[in-house]
């Protein structure tokens, strides 16, 4: 079943507002909350209009006064226009503000580069004390909204726009800070975050199995705090780790994986994601994901090419050593 992560968040938030008077829903005229929702939330819902920097400042003030604000805006605006307020007012003061950022990645592809968030994970995960989460489907979103009440300090949650499929596999329950192992392999590790990349890696693992290559698939939904233990345990027996994300290759999941393994378990890492350029195509998210080849086919090609190159290099090395 397909469902939008932003809608799953909205629907799960309302009963939490009604159960917890300290919670607030601060909107920036996103259109996600209708009049009936606002009426049901009562004084716990405020639409502050399109003024993202102001939105974060007000959220910080509320959090400093004992409230827990859920702040709603688009990912591109949260991590650019409002970054100073997030950094100084929220993160610096370790305040429990939940930044619920919709239209993450290429979700706003039809609106062009100004509305696309391809740097947000890199920006947010470098802020001290900021937790960063990327749900892969609606069920995980609901779980993370519940768990967010127990997260100390600020939290950034990257949400989509349109419905995306549920994960088709049985997996451990999603828990903030704990990667999900969706498939066991041993030859390679495929690590992803977000709906399309995780689904692509699962599909790629199935194809690779047909070629005799066992792939462990990790849903690395939490970029901070990062689950080093699960990643290292999966990477140690593998000859290759491939990351896939709907984000520029720098600073996001690929960066987190490469940094971690460089320190803990040196392994070859291939980072697959958006090329180092602004989007030069207009279209919906599905079109852009395919256009920039954030696909299972790309993962399969990358794995087979890398393993084939390694095998050829090994044969060459052995010949040279014998001679």
Q: What is the pLDDT of residues 37-69, one digit of tens each?
A: 999 999 999 999 999 999 999 999 999 999 999
Query: What are the two backbone dihedrals, phi and then psi, of residue 178, each rounded to the nearest 5 degrees?
Result: -125, 115
**Residue 72 bridge partners (DSSP):** 27, 100
- Residue where the block lists tokens 């940094």: 259
Mean pLDDT, range 84-101, rounded to an integer = 98
Q: Name the more confident of 2 and 310.
A: 2
Q: Name the more confident of 323 and 118.
A: 118
Q: Is the pLDDT of residue 17 over 70?
A: yes
Which pLDDT value is given to residue 321?
31
Place 70 in a pLDDT band, splitting at 50, 70 and 90: very high
**What is the pTM (predicted TM-score) of this model?**
0.94
Which pLDDT value is given to residue 313?
67
Q: Is the pLDDT of residue 310 over 90?
A: no
Cα distance between residue 80 and residue 50, in whole Å? 14
Domains of the chain, CATH where assigned: 5-158 (3.40.50.970), 180-312 (3.40.50.920)
> What contacts 290, CB < 8 A, 6 or more positions away?
none
Which pLDDT value is given to residue 110?
86
């Amino acid at each position: 079943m397909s469902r939008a992560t932003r809608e799953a968040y909205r629907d799960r938030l309302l009963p939490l507002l009604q159960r917890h008077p300290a919670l607030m829903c601060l909107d920036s005229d996103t259109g996600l909350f209708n009049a009936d929702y606002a009426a049901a939330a009562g004084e716990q819902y405020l639409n502050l209009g399109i003024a993202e920097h102001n939105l974060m400042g007000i959220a910080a003030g509320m959090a400093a006064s004992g409230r827990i604000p859920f702040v709603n805006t688009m990912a591109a605006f949260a991590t650019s226009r409002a970054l100073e307020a997030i950094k100084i007012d929220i993160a610096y003061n370790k305040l429990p503000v939940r930044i619920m950022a919709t239209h993450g990645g290429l979700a706003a592809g039809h609106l062009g580069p100004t509305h696309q968030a391809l740097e947000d994970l890199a920006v947010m995960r470098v802020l001290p004390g900021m937790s960063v989460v990327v749900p892969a489907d609606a069920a995980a979103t609901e779980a993370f909204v519940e768990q967010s009440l127990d997260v100390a300090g600020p939290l950034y949650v990257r949400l989509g726009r349109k419905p995306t499929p549920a994960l088709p596999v049985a997996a451990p329950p999603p828990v903030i800070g704990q990667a999900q192992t969706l498939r066991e392999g041993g030859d390679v590790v495929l690590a992803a975050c977000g709906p399309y990349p995780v689904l692509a890696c699962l599909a790629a693992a199935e194809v690779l199995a047909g070629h005799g290559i066992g792939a462990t698939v990790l849903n690395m939904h939490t970029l901070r705090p990062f689950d080093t233990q699960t990643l290292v345990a999966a990477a140690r027996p593998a000859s290759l780790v491939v990351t896939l994300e709907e984000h520029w290759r720098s600073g996001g999941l690929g960066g987190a994986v490469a940094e971690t393994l460089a320190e803990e378990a040196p392994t070859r890492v291939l980072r697959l994601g958006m090329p180092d350029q602004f989007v030069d195509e207009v279209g919906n998210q599905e079109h852009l994901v395919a256009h920039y080849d954030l696909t299972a086919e790309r993962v399969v090609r990358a794995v087979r090419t890398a393993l084939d190159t390694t095998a050829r290099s090994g044969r060459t090395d052995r010949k040279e050593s014998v001679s």
